A = this chain, B = another copy of it.
């Protein structure tokens, strides 16, 4: 696949000077437009040694406003990085909307080099590429512009280039800056790269293969491609926003029709309807079970901490289902250093400027800790879906994105515990009334709660879809009848304890 980049492309100084000014101006203008856009641009520069990766990086940094472009080179992972799934470090590096993230090698460097040096099997290499593809796809679907450049040299040109670089010690220093990669045998390296490139392209995450032997030609190519695609993407996103506004209007009119229609249909039996809502517990049984489960969880978490086994708990449920109370009981006998509660409220603007999963990746705890999300990434397919905050495409692909996220957690060895606290509509009303009359509970009840309640049926549909699409072996859903608070609290405790225990028994992993 590199044949097109071994044709000896050149460009005279005169020709380059001619396009140079226009290109530079264009890029500066586009960067200004990007500032106001709702997506980030990710540029990946990778290639064979001597092909001008660092030169391209420097050129982009010279031409553009440094405030809105950031360069990332991945270094040896820190222990904070090693104590989370591999992609944590990539997520944390992502540029916010309106800016450009410039990567040397990015997530390609390690797998290509390792495979080329025979230190990574084809199966492991394939798996890496699959993950990378999923990652880039997730970002691109949310609007990110991803442009990947492979700067190429034939083996012969590379030899010449390296020799001529040696003559100038300074250029030599730069050309030999392969700190983001590991030089290796040319054929093995380019073979591995070719395989990686082939298997990590799709319509939205293309690779551009650019011949690197001639400075002018290489620079003009990269900059032209960048300018063209950035311009096109800006236009496409603007158009999309416009279409979306129109569609939203239209849909909100249609919606009322659909809702009316649904009410006429015979009631559907959904997964929550199968729960035994009479489940309850006497005070005495509760006292004993609570006590037993606390001791058990205390011991299990102690072991998990020693073993470096992390747990990620996502607690969801109806408004007033008792999530807060359940979490406080869950952490009652745990050591304060071992857990962290992450309440999910409105995102900050830094969070808003990233993919919606970014804020959850951000909060994952280190090895051996339990991270408890009070509401979670499932907001995407619950409130955001029901309230029409995003369009159907977005929440529909949300299931796959969430499965991918949880799979990464599970494959890293983390325990994933997802629970839905279910109360009946009648019980919710009782609790709302209680909240509205007891002075110190009033803050717990908001207009939103009443509004959500009106959409109970739509939420039931969303919950049904959520369970059917995201309950997996590695990360199953636990639906917990919660009309009786005692029963719900003990069940939450027991569910978490069971999950941790199972993982301790089956995993031997010590990260």
Question: What is A's interface to B at a CB cutoff of 8 Å?
Answer: 21, 24-25, 28, 31-32, 54, 57-58, 61-63, 65-68, 70-71, 73, 75, 78-80, 83, 104, 169-170, 173-174, 177, 179-180, 291, 294-295, 298, 324, 327-328, 332-333, 335-338, 340-341, 343, 345, 348-350, 366, 374, 439-440, 442-444
Contact = CB atoms under 8 A, between A and B. Distances in A.
A341 B71 contact: yes
Given A79-B79, A79-B80, A294 B332 contact: no
A443 B32 contact: yes
Given A21-B440, A295-B173, A350-B349, A336 B104 contact: yes
Chain A, interface SS category: helix
Nearest to A323: B66
A348 B350 contact: yes
Most buried by B among A104, A177, A328, A442: A177
A333 B443 contact: no
27 contacts: A31-B443, A57-B336, A58-B328, A62-B328, A66-B343, A71-B336, A71-B340, A71-B341, A73-B337, A75-B337, A75-B366, A78-B78, A78-B366, A79-B80, A80-B80, A170-B294, A170-B295, A170-B332, A173-B294, A173-B333, A174-B333, A177-B336, A179-B336, A179-B338, A180-B337, A348-B349, A349-B349
A294 B174 CA distance: 11
Nearest to A58: B328
Contact of A66 (B65, B324, B349): B324
Contact of A180 (B336, B350, B439): B336
Nearest to A26: B440
A295 B170 CA distance: 7
Given A32-B443, A443-B28, A345 B67 contact: yes
Contact of A24 (B73, B298, B440): B440
A494 to B, nearest CB: 16
Nearest to A82: B79
A511 to B, nearest CB: 13
Contact of A336 (B73, B295, B336, B338): B73
Contact of A374 (B66, B174, B179, B335): B66
A32 B444 CA distance: 11
A439 B79 contact: no
Contacts of A440: 21, 24-25, 28, 63
A142 B153 CA distance: 56
Contacts of A83: 78
